[in-house]
Amino acid sequence: MNYLLDSVILIDHFNGIDPAGAFLARVKNEAAISAVTRAEVLSGFSDDTGLHLAARLLDAFHFLPLDRESADLAARLRQSNGWKLPDAFQAAVAQCHGLKLVTRNTRDFPPELDFVVIPYQV
């Protein structure tokens, strides 16, 4: 495992943004999602068909739950960076598992952070 996928990458894929789909195809076997990503992505679907398709795609990735270690680190990251709690959890899960956080959210996660990967721009 090398990457933790932030929700925006999967949301981009479902919105038909080609670079997102290409990136996901490239890293499928090297990527994981967190409980935060799963919840955020699934909450964007209101119909059963879309929800089922989204869940099937999410099931293709290794799933990382939120645990005590990531919760404690998320609290510290939130305090020190002023991040929203979901963003702090994403960063904490990535760091606890030694993964690169793949996102397009450069406002909260500037590419200068050593654990952040920005695979494309829209």
Domain ranges of the chain: 3-117
Rounded CA separation 91/98 (Å): 10
Across residues 78-91, what is the average pLDDT?
Answer: 97
Q: Please report the pLDDT score of residue 84 as a whole number.
A: 96
pLDDT band at 92 (very low <50, low <70, confident <90, very high): very high
pLDDT for residue 59: 97
Q: Is 3-117 assigned to CATH 2.60.40.3470?
A: no
Report the pLDDT averaged over residues 36-58. Answer: 95
pLDDT at 20 (0 to 100): 98
Per-residue pLDDT at 9 = 98
Residue 122, token pair as written in the block: 């829209």
Residue 68 CA to its chain's centroid (Å): 19
Rounded to a whole number, what is the distance in angstroms from the first to the last CA of the chain?
26
Say if residue 53's pLDDT is above 90. yes
**Is it the case that residue 82 has pLDDT exceeding 90?**
yes
Average pLDDT, the chain: 96
Cβ–Cβ under 8 Å, residues 6 and 33: no
What local confidence, expressed as pLDDT, does residue 111 receive?
Answer: 87
100 has a pLDDT exceeding 90: yes
Query: What percent of the chain shows pLDDT beyond 70?
Result: 100
